[in-house]
């Protein structure tokens, strides 16, 4: 019997079209997997059993008539509990959140609903998505499907875990400093932070133009399929880039049984983002070696590889500027939480909000100056290079329920995520691609970064890695 939870979105749609299995069967399998794994991993704040099965039954009837609503009709999907899902509350990991149901969908959710997707549930997030791991006072911590005593990463940790577990092949996450790429790297899944504005967002994030909505999936081909749907315009986001120039699925370059070639691409490989790029956090040697093997595979696929570093400012300057922007946004997001309710907040979130409240408008604009300088630097860099490759994470997943690795001497999550948040500041597309299992049994990943608007190029290179077998991992042992 076919394990429907192991199939890609593209394969599910092909099976519906051929009559091999139905959306109801796929929804039941995804819900059962989610329910079984919830006990050990805690990836969900809400499971929508009856609603999902109603949606799946309606999809099944559309497929029976040969009239699907869109390219994802009947595909089980999950939604990070930062984004609005009509008819349900958005709790944002906060005990102070309103439990009133929303009367509208976020833009990406609306596009999925129009396409006939089946909503399995809402996934866990740290409070207001503020950190690179997933735990919060009201919902607890989300474990890693490869080892539930380790973190799934964050802040889209529940979404990454759901995809890894098989509780739907697709999920919507958000990324303000690495929040789809960090958990994808830790869970062996794929995630893309698109160019800012490629996927519309509403309500606007308190973190401003650092915050992106991104597809999370098991491979690059499914992410392209999802991006084709959620990248369409929505009048509620004035910063949206408008309709994509073409299909992201078409940009993958698949033409036959062989992996697509990358001939003509010039790729920069930066193992550390510069000599001081890690700010003292060294990349684990096994991860460094795995990323190097991934780069070798890109060369075998026809890309020209040049080992070089992008001309970014000193890491401490970049981190300080990011903190100014991020902590100010956190203070703004939680400004309405007062009195006893504020005491229920994540203590770390309260700390950064206090710092954010201390910044002046001049401090904020100075951070924007750093950001604009980084954008100019990377714009010039990508005149010479089509893509940049770095590690996605310098370490594998550490203990669950901690903001930083135990005994590391670190204070904030940004100290162990040096490769991710710089590219939120520059608004570039960046993806996390698996590149092997560490000797500790946990996934490792590389990061592909493109110039702004080159989402298709990032997806093409990632797809080539998947098609060549370089990004495939064994499934996690926790499968429900």
Catalytic residue positions, numbered: 80, 155, 179
C-alpha to C-alpha distance for 447 and 405, rounded to whole angstroms = 21
- Structural contact between residues 135 and 45, judged by C-beta atoms closer than 8 angstroms: no
- C-alpha distances (whole Å) from 398 to each of 82, 386, 434 are 24, 33, 17
- Structural contact between residues 91 and 81, judged by C-beta atoms closer than 8 angstroms: yes
List, in order, residues 6 or more apart from 48 with CB less than 8 Å away.
88, 119, 120, 121
Taking the CA atoms of residue 233, residue 235, residue 240 and residue 242 in that order, the dihedral angle to the nearest 10 degrees is 40
Q: How many Å is the Cα radius of gyration of the chain?
A: 21
- Structural contact between residues 272 and 284, judged by C-beta atoms closer than 8 angstroms: no
- Structural contact between residues 345 and 334, judged by C-beta atoms closer than 8 angstroms: yes
Across 290-310, b (16+ Cβ under 10 Å) vs e yields: bbbebbebbeebebebeeebb
- C-alpha distances (whole Å) from 422 to each of 182, 225, 347, 414 are 13, 27, 25, 10
Dump the DSSP string for 4-65: GGGS-HHHHHHHHHHTSS-HHHHHHHHHHHHHHHHHHH--EEEE-HHHHHHHHHHHHHHHHH
C-alpha to C-alpha distance for 195 and 70, rounded to whole angstroms = 24
Taking the CA atoms of residue 105, residue 155, residue 193 and residue 299 in that order, the dihedral angle to the nearest 10 degrees is -150
Of the candidates 177, 132, 141, the one whose C-alpha atom is nearest the C-alpha of residue 43 is 141
Dump the DSSP string for 347-381: HHHHHHHHHHHT--HHHHHHHHHHHHHHHHHHHHH
With vertex at residue 283, the alpha carbon angle to CA 382 and CA 412, rounded to the nearest 5 degrees, is: 90
- Structural contact between residues 139 and 127, judged by C-beta atoms closer than 8 angstroms: no
C-alpha to C-alpha distance for 94 and 416, rounded to whole angstroms = 24
Taking the CA atoms of residue 295, residue 299, residue 300 and residue 301 in that order, the dihedral angle to the nearest 10 degrees is 100
């Amino acid at each position: 019997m076919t394990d429907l939870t192991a199939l890609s979105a593209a394969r599910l749609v092909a099976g519906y079209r051929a009559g091999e299995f139905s959306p109801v069967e796929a929804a039941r399998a995804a819900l059962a997997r989610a329910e079984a794994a919830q006990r050990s991993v805690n990836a969900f704040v809400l499971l929508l059993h009856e609603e999902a099965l109603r949606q799946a039954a309606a999809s099944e009837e559309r497929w029976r008539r040969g009239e699907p609503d869109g390219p994802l009709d009947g595909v089980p999907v999950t939604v990070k509990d930062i984004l609005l899902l009509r008819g349900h509350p958005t709790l944002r990991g906060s005990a102070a959140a309103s439990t009133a149901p929303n009367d509208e969908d976020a833009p990406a959710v609306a596009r999925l609903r129009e396409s006939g997707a089946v909503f399995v549930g809402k996934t866990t997030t740290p409070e207001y998505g503020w950190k690179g791991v997933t735990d919060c006072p009201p919902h607890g911590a989300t474990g890693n499907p490869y080892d539930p005593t380790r973190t799934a990463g964050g802040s889209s940790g529940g979404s990454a875990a759901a995809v890894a577990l098989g509780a739907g092949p697709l999920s919507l996450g958000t990324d303000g400093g690495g929040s789809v790429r960090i958990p994808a790297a830790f869970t062996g899944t794929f995630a893309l932070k698109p160019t800012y504005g490629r996927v519309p967002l509403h309500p606007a994030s308190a973190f401003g133009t650092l915050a992106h909505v991104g597809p999370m999936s098991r491979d690059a081909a499914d992410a392209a399929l999802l991006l084709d749907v959620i990248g369409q315009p929505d009048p509620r986001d004035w910063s949206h880039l408008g309709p994509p120039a073409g299909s992201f699925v078409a940009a993958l370059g698949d033409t036959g049984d062989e992996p697509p070639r990358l001939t003509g691409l010039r790729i920069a490989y930066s193992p550390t983002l510069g000599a001081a790029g890690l700010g003292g956090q060294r990349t684990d040697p096994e991860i460094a070696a795995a990323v190097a093997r991934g780069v070798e595979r890109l060369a075998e696929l026809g890309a020209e590889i040049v080992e070089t570093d992008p001309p970014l400012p000193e890491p401490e300057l970049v981190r300080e500027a990011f903190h100014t922007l991020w902590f100010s946004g956190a203070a703004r997001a939680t400004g309405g939480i007062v009195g006893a309710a504020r005491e229920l907040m994540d203590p770390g979130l309260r700390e950064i909000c206090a710092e954010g409240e201390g910044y002046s408008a001049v401090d904020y604009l100075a951070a924007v100056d750093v950001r604009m300088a980084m954008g100019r630097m990377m714009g010039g860099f990508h005149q010479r290079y089509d893509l940049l490759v770095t590690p996605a994470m310098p370490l594998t997943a550490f203990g669950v329920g901690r903001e930083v690795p135990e005994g590391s001497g670190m204070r904030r999550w940004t100290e162990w995520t040096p490769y991710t948040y710089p590219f939120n500041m520059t608004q570039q597309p960046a993806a996390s691609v698996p590149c092997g299992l560490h000797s500790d049994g946990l996934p490792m990943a590389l990061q592909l970064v493109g110039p702004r608007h080159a989402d298709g190029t990032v997806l093409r290179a990632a797809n080539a890695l998947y098609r060549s077998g370089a990004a495939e991992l064994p499934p996690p042992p926790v499968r429900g």
